Amino acid sequence: MKISSAYFLPIIVMFTSIATLAQSRELLEIRITQGIESALPIAIVPFDWQADIAPPENVGAIVSANLRRSGRFAPMPAADLPSRPRSFAEINFKDWRLLGMDNLVIGRVKQTGEDRFAVEFRVIDVITAKQLAGFRIPTNAANLRLTAHHISDIIFEAILKMKGAFATRIAYVTVEKFAKKQSHYQLQIADADGHNAHTILESREPLLSPAWSPLGDRLAYVSFEERNSAVYVQNIQTGQRKKVASGRGINSSPAFSPDGRRLALTRSLDGNPDIYLLDLTNGKTRRLTTHPAIDTEARWAPDGRHIVFTSDRGGGPQIYRLAIDGGRPERQTFNMGNYNSRASLSPDGRLMAVVNGGDKGFRIALVDLQNEHFDILTDTRLDESPSFAPNGAMIIYATMGTAGAELAAISVDGRVRQRLALQKGEVREPAWGPIRR
Amino acid sequence: MTVAILRWIPMALLAFLIAGCGGSKTTKDPDAIRALVEDRGISSEEMDAIDLAARTRGLDDADPLSHGVLGDPHDADGPLSVRVIYFDYDRSNVREAFRGTIEAHAAYLANNPDVSIALEGHADERGSREYNLALGERRALAVRKQLVLLGASAGQVRAVSYGEERPVTEGHDEGSYAPNRRVEILY
């Protein structure tokens, strides 16, 4: 048997330090509540560990858990594997075909120096006995988990021909309530699998609307720590932050432009909420809307030249689209009730998730902007704050669980559902960050 | 003056009775929430005063505003003790029922130009948080506008919105939502 395409493309992994961040005690637990019936069977052979220290992370297990959580794969339990091939030559394709395994992943982690490792793996199509992808990724112990997420993305894309979103982070706000109306708010970021939760801000006053910069290095958010809403931009690594909008009225709803240089936000300087553009490089502000209605919740189109926003200029809240260089706002939501707000655009700009209010409560609806067709995706009553994954396949949102506020995620086709909850306290305001390099 | 205060004592008594039910600040009847109803004991002097008043005065339905005499806003007996204005769902118009309350506060502010207040606008949890933040501000500004029209000066009244972030009741039904759609008047 010959390897049909043995390409080892090295990926440069950035060595990041998150030592300045406080590790959280709480784990965001993610459970898959609905998967696809036709989830693809795949065998992930445990990665061979070739190093003189104990493995800090089980790469194969992380990959397997990621693929299972996506709802699109059914990885074979490690205990059921008929054999554990370490190379292409050791694979007995007949065995795997008999077990109905469509795909097989083999790999190893080799030590290449002090705290230096190379992870090699191959994705193999069992039916054709051909390699779909093969990579060697340099990493270190602290980044081994991130490397496992990158590997998951490569496998996902090699088989499904669609980008994964495993090597991503989510930001969210946790709330613990105490007696006498006191609350403890924390702005946290965690890996997309719920691990590595870190608190980047805590406050006794409400926190909301975290928004990622396009490179994932900064978060903008709204904090009430000065007894009024104010917008801050915080560097995730250093913890340093800058107050970019405060003072009279509302200062809220930040959204980074696709180039990361500008922030769209809501202010009510003259007593009426309008959308403003703040140039982060020079601090200059430009007003985008002037209507005496509520204008808020701006989100950028991927072209960087348009925004969508919520306005009640037509009576109830609806979504409008506006060119930032001028023009009239155009309504985007039609025939879908009298309450549509907080839009989130898919990365390609074709789909828009909104909070849709109706007789059955507030649910996440998905609008196809090409043809104005819409679907109600969720079936709970208090859903809010939808946020697209950077691959456009999933939408994370906040909902009300039996034990209080929790997060949920749903695929755009509605077939995969996940639930993300804390063991203690409430969690809300999710924002799905960009792919990590 | 004394007469005006005494007229309000039965109302204060009612407020204390409501406060006594379970010792909680929350109640399903929004109109019954009054500023000085909180988790604290009542001194024996206060209790005596209430008892005395309850014996000596019946319920007086006279319009308190017709007297034009307004006491200290910290006086639990006065018309200024009503500190919360409630709103309908997704609306910011001030209901007619709160007209008298707003007139009383406006008159007090007009007579006391050194006093300033904050109006905290709130919304119930339904819908999106940022839209609700805007809605809370619109409610606070609606109350502010009426206060100014009725004689308060704009500089005396600061409006701030907390949106749906600070509910007074935590339930997920209309009975819990109604008390949360409010503007609090803070002296």
Nearest CA in chain B to A343: B128
Of all residues in chain A, the percent with pLDDT exceeding 70 is 94
- Out of B125, B134, B141, whose CB is closest to A382? B125
- Average pLDDT score over residue span B123-142: 96
CB B23 within 8 A of CB B96: no
Query: Does residue A361 have a pLDDT over 80?
Result: yes
Residues A243-271 have pLDDT tens digits of 999 999 999 999 999 999 999 999 999 88
Average pLDDT over residues A135-144: 95
Judged by CB atoms closer than 8 Å, whether chains meet at A342 and B131 is answered as yes
Average pLDDT over residues B121-141: 96
Ramachandran region, residue A39 (left: φ > 0; alpha: ψ -120 to 50; beta: rest): beta
B152-170: pLDDT as tens digits: 999 999 999 999 999 999 8
Helix-then-strand count for chain B, H and E? 5, 4
- CA–CA distance, B62 with A97 (Å, rounded to integer): 90
Decide if A316 touches B, using CB distance below 8 A.
yes
| Residue ranges of domains in chain B | 1-67, 83-187
Ranges A64-68, A266-270, A407-411, B58-62: which has the least confidence: B58-62
pLDDT at B77 over 80: no
Q: Which residues of A350-368 are buried (b: 16+ CB within 10 A; e: fewer)?
A: ebbbbbbbeeebbbbbbbe
pLDDT in tens, B16-38: 333 333 333 333 333 333 332 33
Q: What's the pTM value of the predicted model, to 2 decimals?
A: 0.84
* Interface mutation target, options B91, B125, B133, chain A, most CBs of A under 10 Å: B133
Nearest to A297 among B90, B128, B159 (CB): B128
CATH architecture of B83-187: 2-Layer Sandwich (3.30)
- With a pLDDT cut of 70, the percent of chain B lying above it is 59
Q: Nearest CA to CA, how far is B70 from chain A (Å)? A: 30
pLDDT of residue A151 exceeding 90:
yes
> Comparing A395-409, B22-36, B130-144, which segment has the lowest mean pLDDT?
B22-36
Which domains, from first to last, does chain A contain?
9-160 (3.40.50.10070), 168-435 (2.120.10.30)
Distance CA B17, CA B22 (A): 10
Question: What's the mean pLDDT in A99-108?
Answer: 96
Q: Which of B133, B141, B165 sits opposite A271 (nearest CB)?
A: B141
- Residue A259 has what pLDDT? 97
Whose structure tokens read 């935590």? B170
pLDDT in tens, A169-226: 999 999 998 887 789 999 999 999 999 999 999 999 999 999 999 999 999 999 999 9
Q: Are strands A9-10 and A306-311 parallel, antiparallel or unpaired?
A: unpaired
Mean pLDDT of A216-245: 97
What's the average model confidence in pLDDT over A140-163? 96
Q: Please, what is the average pLDDT of chain A? A: 91
For residue B132, what pLDDT band results from cuts at 50, 70 and 90? very high
Tell me the shortest Cα–Cα distance from A36 to chain B, in angstroms. 30
Nearest to A268 among B131, B137, B172 (CB): B137
pLDDT the model gives residue A402: 85
pLDDT band, residue A45 (cuts 50/70/90): very high
> Which of residues 51 through 90 in chain B touch A, CB cutoff 8 A?
90
Per-residue pLDDT, A127: 95
Using pLDDT thresholds of 50, 70 and 90, give the confidence band for residue A26: low
Q: Chain A neighbours among B 150-169 (CB < 8 Å)?
A: 159-162, 165-166
CA B179 to chain CA centroid, nearest Å: 12
Among B90, B125, B165, beta carbon nearest to A206 = B165
**Beta strand A130-139 with A116-125: parallel, antiparallel or unpaired?**
antiparallel
What is the reported pLDDT for A23?
Answer: 59
One-letter-per-residue 3-state SS of chain A: CCCCCCCCEECCCCCCCCCCCEECCCCCEEEEEECCCCCEEEEECCCEEECCCCCCCCHHHHHHHHHHHCCCEEECCHHHCCCCCCCHHHCCHHHHHHCCCCEEEEEEEEEEECCEEEEEEEEEECCCCEEEEEEEEEECHHHHHHHHHHHHHHHHHHHHCCCCCCCEEEEEEEEEECCCCCEEEEEEEEECCCCCCEEEEEECCCEEEEEECCCCCEEEEEECCCCCCEEEEEECCCCCEEEEECCCCCEEEEEECCCCCEEEEEECCCCCCEEEEEECCCCCEEECCCCCCCEEEEEECCCCCEEEEEECCCCCCEEEEEECCCCCCEECCCCCCCEEEEEEECCCCCEEEEEEEECCEEEEEEEECCCCCEEECCCCCECEEEEECCCCCEEEEEEEECCEEEEEEEECCCCCEEEEECCCCEEEEEEEEEECC
Write out chain B residues lying below 8 Å of A355, CB-based.
Answer: 127-128
pLDDT class of A22 with cuts at 50, 70, 90: low
pLDDT category, A134, cuts 50, 70, 90? very high
Which positions in chain A touch B131 (Cβ < 8 Å)? 294, 296-297, 310, 312, 317, 341-342
Helix axes A144-160, A59-69, angle to 10 degrees: 50
A296 and B141 within 8 Å at the Cβ level: the answer is no
Write down the ipTM of this complex.
0.89
> What is chain B's mean pLDDT, rounded?
73
Whether A297 and B161 lie within 8 Å, measured CB to CB = no
**Tokens standing for A311?**
């306005």
| 3-class DSSP string for A138-150 | EECHHHHHHHHHH
pLDDT tier at A3, thresholds 50, 70, 90: very low
Provide mean pLDDT across the span A75-79. Answer: 94
